[in-house]
Structure 1
C-alpha cells in the first residue's frame, strides 16, 4: 500500500523540518519530537530512528505503508551519516538523496557527500542550500513528480 506523503529522514540537524516547510509551502512551529511529525504532504522521521539500527525496519515499514517517495538527507555541515551501503534500496518508493547546507562546503566536500548518498543507494542526489536557493527548484520539481499536490 503506497501512501500519499513524502517521507523525510535524516540525522538530527540535517534539515528535515526546513525541507518539510519547503514541501508544505509554509513554516511549522513544532518543537523537537521523538515520534513522526505528519503534515499534509510530508512526514518527518526523527533522527533517532536512523541513529538506532534496530529501528531501520520501522523506517522501511513506514515508507511502505505511508510514503509516495523518500528524501534521504545528509547534513553537509557535519557530513555525518549512519546509512548503511545500499540502505535506500530497501524502499519501494523513489528515493532522492539530499546533501543539505551545501553553501558551506568545498567542491571536494560536496563530492564526498554526494558519494555517500550514492553509496546509500539513492535513485539520484542533489546539493541543497536554503540560504542561497541552490537545488530548491530541483527538489520541488522532484517532489511534484513523486507526491503531486491534489
Structure 2
C-alpha cells in the first residue's frame, strides 16, 4: 500500500478519515502532532494554517508516496492557493470530506481542489464510508490484499 500524507485545515476530517481508512470506530480526536501510521501520515491542521509551520509539511511529504489535500464540503473558503500542487514533489490528490453534511457544497469544494491543481479528486464520508474504499483501491499496490478482497476469497473457498 502506498503511504499517504493527509493535510488540510483543522476540522477538515483528516483524523476521522485516518480512522475510516484503518477500519476503526470513528471518535473525535484532536491531532496535536504528526502521527505516523503504517501507510498514513496524519498532520495537524495548524501546519497547513500557519506559514511558519507550513514548511514542516514539505519535509514530512518526503516520507509519503501520495499527498492527500483535504477540503471539507462545508468550508466557506479554500485554504489552498491556485496551482499549489505544482510545487509538490509527490503525487497530490484532492479529497472532499463531509459530503453527507446537510450544508455540503461538494461541487464548490471540488472546484477549489481543481484550482489548487488536483487532477484526481475523491469525495468521501468517513461516517457512512462512502468513497473510503475508492481511496484504498487507489493506494493499493500489486500484491496488496484489501480486507473485502480477503473476505471474498474466504467466502469463495467456503462455497
TM-score, normalisation: structure 1: 0.80
Residues 67-124 of structure 1: CA deviation (Å, up to 9, x unaligned): 11111100112344211112222222221101101122678x2211100001111231
In the TM superposition, what are the counterparts of 1:1-150 in structure 2 within 5 Å? Answer: 5-27=3-25, 31-64=29-62, 66-104=63-101, 109-145=105-141
CA RMSD, 1 decimal: 2.6
Gaps of 5+ in 1: none
Q: Which moved more, 1:19-28 or 1:72-81?
A: 19-28
Gaps of 5+ in 2: 146-159
Q: 1:136, CA displacement in angstroms?
A: 2.0
Residues 35-73 of structure 1: CA deviation (Å, up to 9, x unaligned): 201112111111001111233222112112x11111110
TM-score, normalisation: structure 2: 0.76
Cα 1:145/1:112, change in 2 over 3 Å: farther
Aligned pairs, how many? Answer: 143
Please tell me whether the aligned partners of residues 50 and 56 of structure 1 are also in contact (alpha carbons under 8 angstroms): yes
Q: 1:27, CA displacement in angstroms?
A: 4.7
Rg larger in structure: 2
Aligned structure 1 segments of 4 or more residues deviating by more than 3 angstroms: 25-31
